[in-house]
Chain A
Amino acid sequence: MGEEHNLVMILARGMASAIATPWFLVDPDGTLVYYNEAAEAILGQTYAEAGALKPEEWGTMFRPEDLDTGKSVAPSDLPLAKALQDRVPAHGRLRITGLDEERRDIAVTAFPLFARTDEFVGAVAIFWEENGKG
């Protein structure tokens, strides 16, 4: 039988492709397997250009800082990492530097995805720019 992502991930990607809110989708290993057009505007690069990214890549490449303290945020402290590791929702306010070198202030909410009874299949992070834009 051929390879196929879990249906919940397929539907999450379908929703991501239709929604105006910036949207990250990672698999259970933390690999960034999709982000939508709205996220491309914040991250400064299209998904087609960036491709699938490992956690150690997406956790550092945007150089996240805590918006309140200005300190760097460790990859493991990012909301999406918490959703992956602890499998609970997480929220944070960050300053990131996009791949286009633009700095942006964003709020991030991440949550884990479970299929069927308790099968962990990945996680989603959604972003808002702090000026109120999605």
Chain B
Amino acid sequence: MRARVWGCRGSLASPGPETIRYGGNTSCVEVRLDDGSLIILDAGTGIRPLGLTLRDELPRTIHLFLTHLHLDHLEGLGFFGPLWSPEVDLHIWGPPSPTRSLERRIARYFSPPLFPVHLLDIPSHPKFHDVPEDAWSIGGARIHARPVSHRGPAVGYRIRDNSKTLAYIPDHEPALGVDLREVEPEWISGHAVAHDADVLLHDAQYTEEEYVERIGWGHSSVSHVVTFANVVEANQLVMFHHDPLHTDDQLEDLLEEAKALWKGDGVGPVLAREGMELDLG
């Protein structure tokens, strides 16, 4: 299994000279399973350049996993080339809601005045799936999706392929009302998704000072994400969902803080950046 980061910025696309090293596109990760199956994690603006690379060898089937429907995870979908190809079998998976189907919720974005083309008129006619409670298979991989602590319906994904595990929880506030260092693991949001992951891509949006002003907004501080990664015994933490106001230099300061806090074994923390490739073997 291999993964490539196409967007790791949180909340709002933030291109410019101060974000050029880690990138300004919002969340999107390409995952290639060992059997060649393509899974895409989230449809932030990073999915646009990913779509461009797929033009020459258009996959017949694409699985798009949406963690939730905040715009920074959805806004690139209309500009994803394969969406407009009728020969592509596009499956869109996302969190269930008590009130509306996934298709109806996404259709709010794919309709005027927010978007010029109605969802019904999209040539690929995507198929929508609420993520199931139980694990399911795509290609040779087993997939788990579990609700996680964020505002509104949101899930994290766990992809296990040939004994390697990638966990993806880009928007997550596991420390809300919980001391991660003291509570039992089964009482920690996201633990089941991230436990023993070889690679964990996880929300690391805030400094400690910023978090205090934004408690309950659904994101993690650096100390929270490091503690979470250590508690779940992740081998490698990829700090993800960078705050749109953080420059490259500030991100590197946060990385140093994360390294100092890291108490686990394994590779430890790194910063997600556009173009980063993760080979899980």
Q: Which residues of A contact B (CB under 8 A)?
A: 1-7, 10-11, 13-15, 17-18, 115-117, 119
Contact = CB atoms under 8 A, between A and B. Distances in A.
A30 to B, nearest CB: 18
Of all A-B residue pairs in the complex, the 9 with the closest CB atoms, nearest first, are A14-B177, A4-B192, A2-B195, A7-B147, A2-B192, A4-B191, A1-B192, A3-B186, A1-B144
Given A7-B149, A13-B177, A13-B178, 16 more contacts: A1-B135, A1-B195, A2-B186, A2-B191, A2-B196, A3-B186, A4-B146, A7-B148, A10-B178, A10-B188, A10-B189, A11-B189, A17-B177, A17-B178, A116-B147, A119-B133
User: Interface residues of B toward A: which range?
Assistant: 20 to 34
Contacts of B196: 2
Interface SS, B side = loop
Interface SS, A side = mixed
Interface string B176-191: 1110000001111111
B165 to A, nearest CB: 9
Contacts of B135: 1
A1 B190 CA distance: 11
A116 B147 CA distance: 9
10 contacts: A2-B191, A2-B192, A5-B186, A7-B147, A7-B148, A13-B177, A14-B176, A17-B177, A17-B178, A116-B98
A14 B147 CA distance: 16
A43 to B, nearest CB: 20
B102 to A, nearest CB: 12
Nearest to A9: B187
A7 B149 CA distance: 7
Interface of B: 96-98, 133, 135, 144, 146-149, 153, 158, 176-178, 185-193, 195-196
Contacts of B148: 7
Contact of A5 (B133, B187, B195): B187
Nearest to B155: A7
A1 to B, nearest CB: 5
Nearest to A11: B149
A10 B149 contact: yes
A10 B187 contact: yes
Contacts of B97: 116
B192 A3 contact: yes
B55 to A, nearest CB: 36
A7 B146 contact: yes
B96 A117 contact: yes
B105 to A, nearest CB: 14
Contacts of B147: 6-7, 115-116
Contacts of A116: 96-98, 147, 153
A10 B193 CA distance: 14
B65 to A, nearest CB: 16
Contacts of B153: 116
A15 B177 CA distance: 6
A33 to B, nearest CB: 9
Nearest to A15: B177
Contacts of B186: 2-5
A13 B98 contact: no
Contacts of A3: 186, 192
